[in-house]
Amino acid sequence: MSNKISLSIKKISFAILLASSILFLDSCSKDKEIVDSPETESYSANFLIDYYDLVCETTKSTPGFFPPQAARAYGYISIANYEAVRNGIEGAKALNTQLNGFSSYKMPTPEPNQKYNWAIASNAAVAQIIRYMYGKNLKPSNELAIEDMERSNHKELAANESSDVVAQSQQYGYAVADVIYNYSKTDGGHEAYLDPFQQPYTMPSDPYCWVPTGAITTPLSPRWGNNRPFLDINVEKTKVPMPVQYSEVKDSEFYREAMTTYHQVQNNTTEQREIAKYWSDDPFVTCTPAGHTFNILSQILFEDRATLAKASLGYAKMGIAENDAFIACWKGKYEHILLRPVTYIHRHIDPSWKTVLGTPPSPSYTSGHSCEMGAGSRILASLFGINGNYQFTDYSQTQYGFYARSFSNFEVMAEECANSKLYGGIHFPMDNSKGLQLGRAVGDNVNKRLSWPDFIR
């Protein structure tokens, strides 16, 4: 073998050895970058479900939390939890790159080469964001309950972890909550619980316009529809059509709408009266319509023994949908400012007529309950629906003395919820049908327009 050939072979061998060494070092470097943290799916969701029970109780007893304000709180609590655990879910993308007005807020990033316990992070984030969202009106008893739950959860979740993992996981959760809270301050609803009626506000005096129907003489949150939604499309592209043209003529379509409500209440069955009360979800007695829907989600997650990943996905979807459904609904309410059935019926049909439920202090078109449940039903179907069918029983209202109600699927539940407003006498039929239509569009947008991880247990 010539010296030239021998030299060439040596050069080739050296090059191969060098390349192999580089690949080996690069591989080692990548191995070191892998965070050795158990996936979010490896944790139980039970502690998180307990938090949502606490959110329900807090909502009931905190002044200023009417349905729109409650839905907003649920929304931010849910996205804070999702961001706290998202790095432990394969394929999960950050919400700050997807939600309206969120991209300018820098989310904390887990430290490389460090282990995290995502359940501990969730515990810290949720406790902190609850304190933030109920803020200045948070009662000492509720604050103590939050602290007790956070401390108890933390002790249990940290039992088998090193002090370093515990500390950095907890701090990460707090940091996430801080960013989400700062994001929430700019949406138009910050500390709205201090002034839920957003006065002064002047209501037009045309015959079709809303007037007070009870002890509360000012309309609820007339500028709520100007709040920033999580998804712009949920307000810009989900507008309901104009309501039936107002008329006092007896053979008009509007008069027939009123007569439908009138006759329905006059001829309610015992079950229909029970359904009206079951779905009433009055603020400060219950945790509002959004809270009822979240309670249903929590119940099914618990029954299915859902992981922290699945529960976090479900709560995030539901929180975004409920918040945006109320913004879209309230925007429509104050664009059309339509009077309630009781006002019209007393003026033009029967001055002695009585509703089953107390009429809420807001315009009639569309029904807030129908909007939120239309959205909620779409989220529930995306999480649990099997070809549109999922038989379940809602036990959440038994705490208020109601019998549990069973449904063959989520759409049937949504239809019953919407119809309950007709049975209660507080809405025209069009308020409910168009409210469901709006809500379903919002729910579909949340399911389809945002990037969610593939199915997780």
For the stretch 356-404, pLDDT in tens is: 999 999 999 999 999 999 999 999 999 998 777 899 999 999 999 999 9
For residue 209, being part of any structural domain is answered with: yes
Within this chain, do residues 144 and 206 fall inside the same structural domain, yes or no? no
Within this chain, do residues 326 and 435 fall inside the same structural domain, yes or no? yes
Mean pLDDT of 16-25: 38
For the stretch 393-440, pLDDT in tens is: 999 999 999 999 999 999 999 999 999 999 999 999 999 999 999 999
Distances (CA, A) of 341 to 80, 133, 238, 338, 452: 40, 34, 24, 9, 41
Within this chain, do residues 86 and 161 fall inside the same structural domain, yes or no? yes
In the numeric block, which tokens belong to residue 369?
């309950």
Within this chain, do residues 264 and 334 fall inside the same structural domain, yes or no? yes
What is the count of structural domains for the chain?
A: 2
Contact call for residues 450 and 98 (beta carbons, < 8 A):
yes
Report how far residue 234's alpha carbon sits from residue 2's, in angstroms, rounded to the nearest whole number: 78
How far does Cα 4 stand from its chain's mean position? 75
Mean pLDDT of 322-350: 98
Within this chain, do residues 173 and 290 fall inside the same structural domain, yes or no? no
Structural domain that includes position 320: 201-449
In the numeric block, which tokens belong to residue 288?
């509002």
Quick check: 445 pLDDT over 80?
yes
Mean pLDDT of 204-224: 97
pLDDT of residue 457: 59
Examine the fold and report which residue of 151, 184, 217 is the final residue of a domain before the chain moves on: 184
Provide the total of helices (H) and of strands (E) in the chain, helices listed first: 15, 2
pLDDT band with cut points at 50, 70 and 90 for residue 187: very high
Within this chain, do residues 105 and 139 fall inside the same structural domain, yes or no? yes
Report how far residue 184's alpha carbon sits from residue 186's, in angstroms, rounded to the nearest whole number: 5
Within this chain, do residues 269 and 137 fall inside the same structural domain, yes or no? no
Within this chain, do residues 180 and 217 fall inside the same structural domain, yes or no? no
Lookup result for tokens 């309901």: 240
How large is the C-alpha radius of gyration of the chain? Answer: 26
Average pLDDT, the chain: 92
Within this chain, do residues 177 and 240 fall inside the same structural domain, yes or no? no
Mean pLDDT of 48-73: 98
pLDDT of residue 18: 40
Q: Give the DSSP per-residue string, 41-110.
A: GGSBSHHHHHHHHHHHHHHHHSTT--HHHHHHHHHHHHHHHHHHHGGGSTT---GGGTSTT-TTSPPP-P
Contact call for residues 309 and 85 (beta carbons, < 8 A):
yes
Q: What region, left, alpha or beta, does residue 124 occupy, with left being phi > 0 and alpha being psi -120 to 50 degrees?
A: alpha
Within this chain, do residues 145 and 209 fall inside the same structural domain, yes or no? no
For residue 455, being part of any structural domain is answered with: no
For residue 224, being part of any structural domain is answered with: yes
